[in-house]
Amino acid sequence: MKTMTVRSFTTAILVLLGARGGAVVPQPPAEALPPAVEIEAANEFSAAMFRQVAGESDENLILSPFSVRIAMAMVVAGADTTTEAALVRGLRLAEDRTERAARLGALQQRVAAIGAGGGVTLESTCRIWSQRDYELLPDFVRSVDSVFGATPALADFVRNAEGARREINGWVEQRTRNRIRELVPPGLLDANTRLVLVNAVYFLGLWMNEFSADKTQRAPFHDAAGRPAGEVELMHGEFEFPAVRYAEEPGLQICELSYRGAEVAMLILLPAPGQWTDLRGRVDGRSLAGWRRALRARKVEVYLPKLRIESQAQLDSTLASMGMDEVFDPNRADLSRISGRRELFVSAVVHKAFVEVHEKGTEAAAATAVAIAVAMVPAEEPPPVIVRADRPFLFLILDRRTGATLFWGQVARPPTPPKP
């Protein structure tokens, strides 16, 4: 896992399916909202995945559990029996298939509605590549198309896996404005690959109130123990509601900075010195919801480092450890609702994400690929609160209206600033 920035967020994920031996989601009405139970479930998965990936790492990190969950949910559309049950539990999805499709569709539609609103650029796009002579069941094709907007494209993994790899990577680069390159590494696809399921997420937002570039200064950054760890380019601004909301509890400051349009925000979780390990151990969907409920209008003086972070991970073992190990086992996986044959299994899940933060705003992108192979203002205004992120902190990019999280990141050491 590498470094991060507050200018740009991009993510992509790919799921590969092999054998043993993308269209954009249609725009919904702006009023369409996923049910609260789906947001809670999605955020619980996101928090659990972040804890699993971050572990005790002291590296800077960016990932999009949202992208991973959407990509793996396409796999669930083709799963059956105990494999389907395990994926449903691990991904925190609805057990009833009709209800599951409705909730996931509403979540994708909400993202499309935010992007259509014009305040920020936000896109979540899915696509499937299938082996040209491998027949897919009509119900599976209809399901992934109607819920995720993912109409299958044909590829020839058997005779030209490298050509298919280049085509998939080119699509991801295009969908993420060239922020995610080489999502599928050489050698990942081979003659046993039957499907590749991909989700790409792109976000670009300008702050509701920008930081002034002439107030950005070099400043010390401290590690979790409070020791000097290097220097950062520290932005500085004083903001009021609705550009910012604030809450605090013993050992933790919570600050929400809005982007233009007020639909999307960055949530900063800044623990007190000595509380970094405690915060990472207890962050989950419930605590996140509680922190957001506590946010109030307040004048806040914010110090935030400029940053650029890029992360890459193969998530097979991560997802397996979260209860989804069966789908990776050629002898146990049941993905028979894809082709009608019980011969497929997930052979790889790869994820890349990018974020850049600077005075004007944030750009982020992520992509995930799954390979499947055969086998409140007070009466008297108090002085501004100071949020000085010159030590390790967590940050999230989320939908302010529903609370759905899109990106999760941590800054544990001095981040690399964006390129001029």
Band of pLDDT at residue 15, cut at 50, 70 and 90:
low
Task: For 58-96, write each residue's pLDDT tens digit.
Answer: 899 999 999 999 999 999 999 999 999 999 999 999 999
Closest CA to 15 of 111, 127, 144, 91: 127
Query: Is residue 2 domain-resident?
Result: no
Task: For 356-373, write each residue's pLDDT tens digit.
Answer: 999 999 999 999 999 999
Query: Is residue 416 domain-resident?
Result: no
Residue-number span of the structural domain to which 187 is assigned? 9-411
Band of pLDDT at residue 381, cut at 50, 70 and 90:
low
Query: Is residue 363 domain-resident?
Result: yes
pLDDT reported for residue 13: 55
Pairs from 273-277 (Cβ < 8 Å, separation ≥ 24): 273/222, 273/224, 273/225, 273/226, 273/391, 274/224, 274/225, 274/226, 275/251, 276/224, 276/391, 276/392, 276/412, 277/56, 277/224
pLDDT > 70 fraction of the chain, expressed in percent and rounded: 91
Taking the C-alpha atoms of residue 309 and residue 164, their distance in angstroms, rounded to an integer, is 28
pLDDT reported for residue 151: 84
Which residue has 């949530």 as its token pair?
A: 267
∠ CA 191-317-331, rounded to 5°: 55
Exposed / middle / buried, residue 216 (Cβ in 10 Å: 0-12, 13-18, 19+):
buried
Task: For 16-66, write each residue's pLDDT tens digit.
Answer: 665 544 433 334 344 468 999 999 999 999 999 999 999 888 899 999 999
Query: Is residue 3 domain-resident?
Result: no
pLDDT reported for residue 380: 59
Taking the C-alpha atoms of residue 69 and residue 291, their distance in angstroms, rounded to an integer, is 23
Task: For 218-275, write each residue's pLDDT tens digit.
Answer: 999 999 988 999 999 999 999 999 999 999 999 999 999 999 999 999 999 999 999 9
SS (H, E, C) 46-78: HHHHHHHHHCCCCCCEEECHHHHHHHHHHHHCC
Question: What is the domain count for the chain?
Answer: 1
Please indicate, yes or no, whether the overall pTM of this predicted structure exceeds 0.85: yes
Tell me the mean pLDDT in the region 98-105.
96
Q: How many CA atoms lie within 13 A of 399 on its CB side?
A: 26
Tell me the mean pLDDT in the region 95-122.
96
Report residue 226 as tokens: 């409070």
pLDDT reported for residue 57: 87
Taking the C-alpha atoms of residue 97 and residue 226, their distance in angstroms, rounded to an integer, is 50
Query: Is residue 344 domain-resident?
Result: yes
Query: Is residue 1 domain-resident?
Result: no
Residue 284 pLDDT exceeds 80? yes
pLDDT reported for residue 1: 37
The count of other CB atoms within 10 Å of the CB of residue 164 is 23
Task: For 165-213, write each residue's pLDDT tens digit.
Answer: 999 999 999 999 999 999 999 999 999 999 999 999 999 999 999 999 9
Query: Is residue 419 domain-resident?
Result: no
DSSP-derived secondary structure for 326-379: GGG-TTT---HHHHSSTTEEEEEEEEEEEEEE-SSEEEEEEEEEEEEEE----S
Q: CATH number of the domain at 233, please.
A: 3.30.497.10
Query: Is residue 388 domain-resident?
Result: yes
